[in-house]
A and B are shown apart, each in its own frame.
Chain A
Amino acid sequence: MESNEVFAILRDQTDRLLAEHVTREALAAADRGAWPAALWNVVAEAGLPHALVPESAGGAGLAPAEALLLLRRVGYHALPLPLGETMLANALWVAAGGAPIAGPATLAPTLPGVMVGMAREADRVTLHGTIAAVPWGDSASLVVLAQGGDNALHLALLPPPATAPVLTRNLAGEPRPTLILDGAPVTEIRPAPALAKSGMLALGAALRAQQMIGAMEHALDFALAYANERQQFGRPIGKFQAVQHMLAEAAGQFAAATAAADGILTAFGDEEAVFAVALAKARVGEAAGKVAEVAHQVHGAMGFTQEHTLHFLTRRLWSWRDEFGNEAEWQRLIGRRVLAAGGAALWPMLAGA
Chain B
Amino acid sequence: MHAFRFDAIDLPPEALAARRRIREFLTSEQKRRDFVSYRNSWNSFDPEFSRRAGAAGFIGVTWPREYGGAAQSSLVRFVITAEMLAAGAPCGAHWIADRQSGPQILRNGSARARRDILPRIAAGECYFAIGMSEPGSGSDLAAVRTSAVRDGEEWRINGQKIWTSNAHRAHYLIALTRTGEAGPDRHGGLTQFIVDLSRPGVTVRPIRNLAGGHEFNEVFFDDYRVADDMRVGGVGEGWRMVTSELAFERSGPDRFLSDYRLLVEMIEHLRENPDPRQEIAVGRLVAHLAALLRMSTAVAGLLERGENPALEAALVKDVGTAFEREIPEIARLLVPVLPSFEAGEPFAEALAQVMLHAPSFTLRGGTREILRGMIARGLGLR
Residues of A within 8 A of B (CB): 217, 220-221, 224, 227-228, 238-239, 241, 243-245, 247-249, 251-260, 262-263, 265-266, 278-280, 282-283, 286, 327-328, 330-336, 338-340, 342-344, 346-347, 350-352
23 A-B pairs within 8 Å (CB atoms) are namely: A227-B381, A245-B373, A251-B378, A252-B318, A252-B322, A252-B375, A255-B6, A256-B288, A259-B294, A259-B298, A260-B287, A266-B10, A279-B290, A279-B291, A331-B281, A331-B283, A332-B280, A334-B282, A335-B286, A339-B270, A346-B267, A350-B289, A352-B19
Return chain B residues, CB-CB under 8 Å to A263. 290-291, 294
Return chain A residues, CB-CB under 8 Å to B1. 217, 220-221, 224, 251, 254
Interchain CB contact (< 8 A) of B376 among A217, A221, A248, A331 = A248
Chain B 2-43, CB within 8 Å of chain A: the 1/0 string? 011010101100001001000000000000000000000000
Residue B264 interfacial (CB < 8 Å): yes
Q: How far is the CB of A347 from chain B (nearest CB, A)?
A: 4
CA distance A352 to B283 in the complex (A): 18
Quick one: given A335-B280, A336-B279, A346-B264, are A239 and B291 in contact (CB under 8 Å)?
Answer: no
Return chain A residues, CB-CB under 8 Å to B298. 259
Number of chain B interface residues as a range: 35 or more
* B271/A283 in contact, CB under 8 A: no
Residue B372 interfacial (CB < 8 Å): yes
Residues of B within 8 A of A (CB): 1, 3-4, 6, 8, 10-11, 16, 19, 82-83, 86-87, 263-268, 270-271, 274, 276, 278-284, 286-295, 298, 315, 318-319, 322, 369, 371-373, 375-376, 378-382
**Which DSSP category, helix, strand, loop or mixed, fits chain B's interface?**
helix
Interchain CB contact (< 8 A) of A283 among B263, B282, B290, B373 = B290
* B283/A342 in contact, CB under 8 A: no
* A343/B382 in contact, CB under 8 A: no
User: What residue of chain A has the Cβ atom nearest to residue B292's Cβ?
Assistant: A256
Interchain CB contact (< 8 A) of A256 among B265, B291, B381 = B291
Return chain B residues, CB-CB under 8 Å to A327. 284
Return chain A residues, CB-CB under 8 Å to B264. 343-344, 346
Question: In the complex, which of the residues B19, B270, B279 has the most CB atoms of chain A within 10 Å of its own CB atom?
Answer: B279
Interchain CB contact (< 8 A) of A351 among B278, B293, B295, B319 = B293
* A347/B381 in contact, CB under 8 A: no
CA distance A182 to B318 in the complex (A): 53
Return chain B residues, CB-CB under 8 Å to A248. 318, 371-373, 375-376, 379
Given contacts A278-B287, A339-B279, A343-B264, 14 further A-B contacts (CB under 8 A): A217-B1, A224-B379, A228-B381, A238-B381, A243-B381, A248-B371, A254-B1, A259-B294, A279-B291, A332-B280, A332-B283, A335-B286, A336-B279, A343-B267
